[in-house]
Structure formats: structure tokens, C-alpha cells
């Protein structure tokens, strides 16, 4: 089973009215996709900064209980290897 290749992007923006919004997280298949989604929500905003915050994970097998515990606990090994 492959998880779709999507990453999380963190935006810092200035809204049309001048308000600053920081750490606005949006998923996208790439940065342009995430920004497109952002601009649908915040019409006329100015993007100040963009950061990719999470890399996608490709899996070839279903997640086990141990995989879920590793994700929750922050363990870096989520490769799906036994």
C-alpha cells in the first residue's frame, strides 16, 4: 500500500486586511499545490515565508500496532520493515 505523496507546508502570510498569520499548515503534493489551496482560503494574501515541514512516507505494507506507537512516540523508523 502506497501513501499518496503529500507533504505539509507551513506558511507565514499577511492577509488582505494586514493581519499576520504564522504557522499556517496546509497539505499539498508540492509547494505550488499547497500555495494554490492557501490562496483559495485567503484571497489576496501576501506569502511572506514558506517551509516544507513533513516529508512523505512510502509504505509497502499495512501499519502494525508497533508502527503506530512509533509514530506517536516520535521514533524515526517508520519504514515498515520487520
Domain spans, the chain: 7-73
Which pLDDT tens digit goes with each residue over 1-55? 445 567 899 999 999 999 999 999 998 889 999 999 999 999 999 999 999 985 5
Distances (CA, A) of 21 to 24, 28, 42, 51, 66: 7, 19, 10, 14, 37
Considering the entire predicted model, what is its pTM?
0.59
Amino acid at each position: 500500500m502506497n501513501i499518496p505523496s503529500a507533504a505539509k507546508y507551513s506558511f507565514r502570510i499577511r492577509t488582505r486586511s494586514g493581519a499576520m498569520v504564522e504557522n499556517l499548515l496546509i497539505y499539498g503534493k508540492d509547494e505550488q499545490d499547497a500555495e494554490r489551496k492557501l490562496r483559495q482560503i485567503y484571497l489576496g494574501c501576501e506569502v511572506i515565508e514558506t517551509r516544507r515541514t513533513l516529508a512523505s512516507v512510502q509504505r509497502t505494507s499495512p501499519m502494525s500496532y508497533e508502527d503506530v506507537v512509533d509514530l506517536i512516540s516520535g521514533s524515526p523508523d517508520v519504514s515498515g520493515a520487520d
